Amino acid sequence: MDGMDATQIKIKEFLSRFFKSHDLQPDEDIFALGFVNSLLAMQLVAFVEKEFGIQVEDADLDLDNFRSIRAISSLVARKTGAPAPA
Amino acid sequence: MAVKCVVWDLDNTVWDGILLEDPEVRLRPHVVHLLRTLDERGILHSIASRNDHDLAMARLRELGLDDYFLYPQINWNSKADSIARIAQDLNLALDAFAFVDDQPFEREEVAFSHAGVLCLDSALLDDLLDRPEFNPRFITGDSRLRRRMYQADFRRNREEADYVGPKEEFLATLGMVFTIAPCREQDLQRAEELTVRTHQLNTTGYTYSYEELDALRQSPRHELLIASLEDRHGAYGKIGLSLIERDEGVWTVKLLLMSCRVMSKGVGTILIHHLLRRAKAAGVRLRAELVDTGRNRQMLITYRFAGFKEIARTGEVALLENDYSALQPPPPYVELRLLD
């Protein structure tokens, strides 16, 4: 997990439960990979809210906010006011 | 209140006499007719009997009745506890239960613990089939299959609990087939039932009567699709519905719903992605209406993650449009079948 911060590592660990055999990279598009079924979609939003203590508003429910590990960590950073990851 | 499950005592109720005293106990007259008729109406059966479990199940097998009963509770516990257990296993509210026993003491104990349970004397069952509680408004193909669906669910859940590995791998073992077809006349009762009973996985919460759905089904401007799911354990029945309004250059999804029974099966995006592929191929824009009912956030997520964005709002109705940037094939663990 070189080059990932703590938030990104947690996101990767969560996503890895759904596709164990794939070593997901920070910028890989999980939608383009076909990994996002209805179960993952439901649990991903719930995970982000619970793990990072944020409220995902309707306006945040954008594909671009959930497309990759980096996109999700950027969303978390914006919602928590932390500096955006590199 | 409609009864969804009848819980039967055994001694002097299902059969005459007491099994521990007479291993050859005979069925009481009409019991088989009652079991079968209620089963065909989609009403489930179970057992709360103080008896030796293995002996009683063996006798039920000999009589050819064991298959009717879901989660039978044959033990020495209180029958109120047994009924609570059955309600939990079937995921039904207690006020959807009836309890049949020859012993006033047992009926009173159950009635005391569970005020909503309809307690009946097994000597007085002559008018049972005519009582309104035992006559559901509709008897659909899915009603007749209801017991089989619960039995299949029981086997699936047991297998899933034993499965070690990612959920997707388990889903792949089920051999699921998802079928999308135009809603036919014989599907209308189930279609109405789905609009009335589905809350969480429902994009608008619009309900339609049988007559309205029948008109929409035949309207040249509309398309009414119904989805079903089956796997190697059996059928889940008709579990999805969608209504599409087709105008020049733009189709609008007025309703998209999925039964909560398949929520854990990872099939929730198949119908919308089918509509997206179809609309794109037809060269039209695809829009969808969405009403926040306070219970259907999952459908907002489904639409947004499928690439829909809000373009207008009228009161509580949001209008979304898709830009076809996020098309997805069906998940690899499901076979999609399309019927004309």
Chain-chain contact of A39 with B167 (C-beta, under 8 angstroms)? yes
Structure tokens at B8: 């039967």
Q: What is the number of domains present in chain A?
A: 1
pLDDT score of B1: 76
CATH number of the domain residue B151 falls in: 3.40.630.30
Residues B168 and B73 both lie in one domain? no
Minimal Cα distance from A31: which residue of B?
B326
Is the CB of B325 less than 8 angstroms away from the CB of A34? no
Per-residue b or e along B150-183, where b marks 16 or more CB atoms closer than 10 Å to that residue's CB: bebbeebeeeeeeeeeebbebbeebebebbbeeb
* CB B182, CB B82: distance < 8 Å: no
State residue A76's pLDDT score: 96
Residue ranges for chain B with pLDDT beneath 70: none
From the list B269, B292, B304, the residue facing A62 with the nearest CB is B304
CA dist B255 and B247 (Å) reads: 16
- Can you give the pLDDT at residue A33? 84
Helix A38-52 and helix A69-80, axial crossing angle in degrees, nearest 10: 40
Answer whether B302 touches A (CB < 8 Å): yes
Q: Say what the pLDDT of residue B178 is.
A: 98
pTM: 0.81
| Confidence (pLDDT) at A36 | 86
Task: Note whether B9 and B153 are same-domain residues.
Answer: no
Residue type, position B204, single letter: T
For residues B80 and B101, state if they share a domain.
yes
**Per residue in B57-114, pLDDT tens?**
999 999 999 999 999 999 999 999 999 999 998 888 899 999 999 999 999 999 999 9
Last residue of a domain, one of B136, B159, B192: B136
Residue A20 lies in a domain: no
A77 located within any domain: yes
Q: What is the maximum alpha-carbon separation in chain B?
A: 76
The number of domains in chain B is 2
In B, which residues are within 8 Å of A19 by CB distance?
A: 166, 168
Contact B218, B212 (CB under 8 A): no
* Conformational region of residue B230, where left means phi above 0, alpha means psi within -120 to 50, and beta covers everything else: beta
Q: For residue A13, tell me if it sits in a domain.
A: no
Percentages of chain B per state (helix, strand, coil), in multiples of 5: 40, 30, 35
* B205 shares contact with chain A (CB less than 8 Å): no
Residue A14 inside a domain? The answer is: no
Regions of chain A where pLDDT drops below 50: none
* Boundary of a domain, candidates B136, B151, B169: B136
B58 shares a domain with B36: yes
In terms of domains, do B178 and B277 share one? yes
Q: Is A60 part of any domain?
A: yes
CATH label of the domain that carries residue A52: 1.10.1200.10
Beta bridge partners of B42: none
Residues B108 and B170 in one domain: no
Name, in order, each residue with C-beta under 8 angstroms of B262's C-beta and a sequence gap of 6 or more. B229, B236, B239, B268
**Residues 303-332 (B) with a CB less than 8 A from some CB of A:** 304-305, 307, 309, 325-326, 328-329, 331-332
Which chain A residues contact residue B264 at CB under 8 A? Answer: 39
**Gap between the Cα atoms of B171 and B109, Å rounded:** 43
Residues of the domain holding B125? 5-136
Q: Which of chain A's residues have a Cβ under 8 Å away from the Cβ of B167?
A: 18, 39
Domain boundary among B102, B136, B170: B136
| Closest residue, chain B, to A58 (C-alpha) | B300
Where in the sequence is the domain holding A77, given as residue range(s)?
A: 26-86
Of B264, B302, B329, the CB nearest to A41: B302
CATH number, residue B26: 3.40.50.1000
At residue A37, the pLDDT reads 86
B322 lies in the same domain as B181: yes
pLDDT of residue A48: 96
Tell whether A54 is covered by a domain: yes
Q: Provide, as residue numbers in chain B, all residues whose Cβ is less than 8 Å from the Cβ of A66.
A: 305
pLDDT of residue B130: 96
Mean pLDDT (chain B) is 94
B166 and A17: CB-CB below 8 Å? yes
- B168 CB neighbours in chain A (<8 A) are 18-19, 37
Q: pLDDT digit string (tens) for B11-23?
A: 999 999 999 999 9
Nearest CB among A18, A31, A61 relative to B166 is that of A18
Flag whether A76 is in a domain.
yes
Q: Is A55 on the interface with B (CB under 8 A)?
A: no
Do B129 and B236 lie in a common domain? no
